[in-house]
Amino acid sequence: MLGKPGPRWTADAAFLGRYWQKRPLLAREALPECAGLVHRNDLLELATRDDMESRLVRRRDDRWHVQHGPFRRRDLDRLPRTGWTLLVQGVDHALASVQPLLRQFSRIPYARLDDLMVSYAPPGGGVGPHFDEYDVFLLQGEGTRRWRISRQRDLALVPDAPLRILRRFRPEREWIVEAGDLLYLPPHCAHEGVATGGGCITYSVGFRAPRAQELGARFLDFLQDRLRLPGAFADPGRKPTRRPGRLGDDLIGYARESLRRIRWDDDDVVCFFGRDLTEPKVHVVFTRPSRPMPERAFAAARTRRGVQLAPATRMLYRGGTFFINGESLAVGAAAARTLSRLADCRALPPHWRVAREASAILYEWYRAGYIRLASDL
């Protein structure tokens, strides 16, 4: 355990009522047991993979520079001793060891959880003053970092910069954080973090908030596959026109009445939103078992060992409808009890009683790489 024992932090009703989307909070020694889950070499190795999103941020001559991975390990090892930051997105998809950290936030719906980004920086490393559109928790791992924050309303950005850097940052509060300290920032809270001692590891747990414009655009795409508008425009008895360039009332009226027939209901919204929220990011790849065991053998192993969702799997449900990695299915009551437990806990313990319908579904998900036997993780 890193750090000194302190009062345990939880995303409980008190925190959600007083701070969530309202004001920042620094909780000292909040999660010391999670501070050492990722080390420098872990992060450098992840940054060399082409199935991970990584960035290298440096500042030279008052200008910011960003390189995108994957990187060669020897290039990372040659970086200077100060003044840069390596950021790796979706670390929770690659390392099962970080799941204990994400479980600390399970009182907040998984539908809001984006992913875990982890950064490494030597002294002087940072990404400049900026703000996020979403809620974020920043847990300090190894090393120390100086955080400065501001609730300023001026959020103008430096033009043409490769990062969203605030043009005028006016810090109001400042702290030096150590291993296990947790900083919560609501949306649009300006902040800047600079590594101050040793190799600085910072865990960033982000919680997305769907934007109305993007949601509407994706929903219209979703409706395309469900549209059933029979018929076509017809104009028997048309008379000659003297103004062929004019868009006539008959065509406008037909278009208006056709579009008014587009309908959707709550089931359409739930189906779309569940699939949308669980859709994997483009770089995510699920590893299928190279030699999948037969269904009966899998059922026996599942009963003996239990199963867990693969780290990259997103799973949500509403009633008897379940969403996993952009797919949806409706199940009966007995199967729903099992699958809802899996979604809530991201695991099923050994000897969990599984109905026949749920057993068949779990086997299909095992073959797809969505779930794994517990010891495989």
Under the banding of pLDDT at 50, 70 and 90, the label for residue 375 is confident
CB distance 124 to 205 below 8 Å: no
26, part of any domain: yes
Under the banding of pLDDT at 50, 70 and 90, the label for residue 6 is very low
192 pairs with which residues across the strands?
148
Q: What tens digit of pLDDT does each residue of 20-48 get?
A: 999 999 999 999 999 999 999 999 999 99
CB distance 136 to 205 below 8 Å: yes
Segment 197-213 shows an average pLDDT of 93
5, part of any domain: no
Is 34 in the same domain as 130?
A: yes
Is 31 in the same domain as 144?
A: yes
Q: At residue 2, does pLDDT exceed 70?
A: no
Chosen domain end from 180, 207, 234: 207
238, part of any domain: no
134: domain CATH number is: 2.60.120.650
What domain count does the chain have? 2
Q: Provide the domain limits for residue 334.
A: 295-376
Q: Is the dihedral of CA 286, 291, 295, 298 positive or negative?
A: negative
Name 88's Cβ contacts closer than 8 Å, sequence gap at least 6: 43, 46, 47, 52, 53, 54, 69, 117, 118, 119
188, part of any domain: yes
Q: What tens digit of pLDDT does each residue of 251-279 get?
A: 999 999 999 999 999 999 999 999 999 99
Q: What tens digit of pLDDT does each residue of 125-144 get?
A: 999 999 999 999 999 999 99
42, part of any domain: yes
Is 302 in the same domain as 193?
A: no
251, part of any domain: no
Q: What tens digit of pLDDT does each residue of 82-140 get?
A: 999 999 999 999 998 899 999 999 999 999 999 999 999 999 999 999 999 999 999 99
352: domain CATH number is: 3.40.366.30
10 Å CB burial of residue 164 (0-12, 13-18, 19+) is middle
Q: What tens digit of pLDDT does each residue of 140-197 get?
A: 999 999 999 999 999 999 999 999 999 999 999 999 999 999 999 999 999 999 999 8
Q: What tens digit of pLDDT does each residue of 351-373 get?
A: 999 999 999 999 999 999 999 99
